[in-house]
Amino acid sequence: MATIYEERYAYHPDDVKSYDTEKIRKEFLVQNIFVPGDVRMVYSQIERYIVGGATPTDKPLLLEAIDPIKAPYFCDRREVGVINVGGSGSVSVDGKEYKLEYKDGLYIGKGSKEVVFKSDDAAKPALFYFNSAPAHKEFPVKHVTLADAPKLHLGSTATSNERDINQMMINSVVDTCQLQMGMTELNEGCVWNTMPAHTHSRRNEVYFYFEVPEGQAVCHFMGQPKETRHIWMQNNEAVISPPWSIHSAAGTSNYIFIWGMAGENLDYSDMDIIQPNELK
């Protein structure tokens, strides 16, 4: 197996105004998340957030500590949220195995020493997408399915954004220090997510897009509300959103995305709404 990572930094909005397409993609787009036999990560200095993926095939994969976290094991001072977006598999935490089917999630608390990813079928491997943030307290490991998650039904077909927001790892479902994750599924014929757009200055956010049909794409919008930018994205790609940035998108078909965030509060509704006619 190989553990491969890169490190990224924090960004001032005035600097981002001058970024061209190549620079925006280099700094905020996360590609090649799932490579067979690898664990891949991006360590962002925004909230010390880590976004990554594990793709075990014929051998299990260990979640190893990377150099930027300066720790003997990955969860020494961190919590992790995992959602499986591939074939069936399992995640073992300190010897206890948790079965994860497609769209199942797992919260792993601070202090967990050994985390191992495994696929049931190497020909149809599990795709374990994970987010991680620093943690100050130990909370128990918890398996979370879509049936366990509160569901918000928002939008309409008239505005092309009818969708279900599955709140899989929020504080009403799982005890966490700061990490929150969930999954938003757009109805057929709907393409807009998170509209009206918003910002939340006390949390960063990462969006991961999947089930984007072959030949289709998602245009993700970011930046300050009066100074927006966009990134065209493909299936199984993620984008880092600083606290000052909106995070919204429209696709050339419907799709699913996983949102993950961390910061100084766990209030899901803490956001500043920007109406569509206010965006520039």
Count other C-beta atoms under 10 Å from residue 261's C-beta: 26
Task: Count CA atoms closer than 13 A to 137's CA, side-chain side.
Answer: 6
Q: Where do the domains of the chain lie, and which CATH numbers do they carry?
A: 2-278 (2.60.120.10)
The model's pLDDT over 188-197, given as tens digits with 9 standing for 90+, comes to: 999 999 999 9
* pLDDT confidence band for 242 (50 / 70 / 90): very high
DSSP count for the chain of H helices, then E strands: 2, 24
Q: Considering the chain, what percentage of its residues have pLDDT values greater than 70?
A: 100
Say which residue, 203 or 29, is predicted with more confidence: 29
Round to whole Å and give the CA distance between 100 and 96.
13
List residues bridging with 153 in a β-sheet.
164
* pLDDT confidence band for 113 (50 / 70 / 90): very high
Sheet holding 29-30, edge to edge: 29-30, 237-241, 203-210, 256-263, 180-186, 163-169, 151-154
Residue 90 burial (CB < 10 Å; 0-12/13-18/19+)?
buried
DSSP structure string for 178-200: S-EEEEEEEPTT--EES-SEEE-
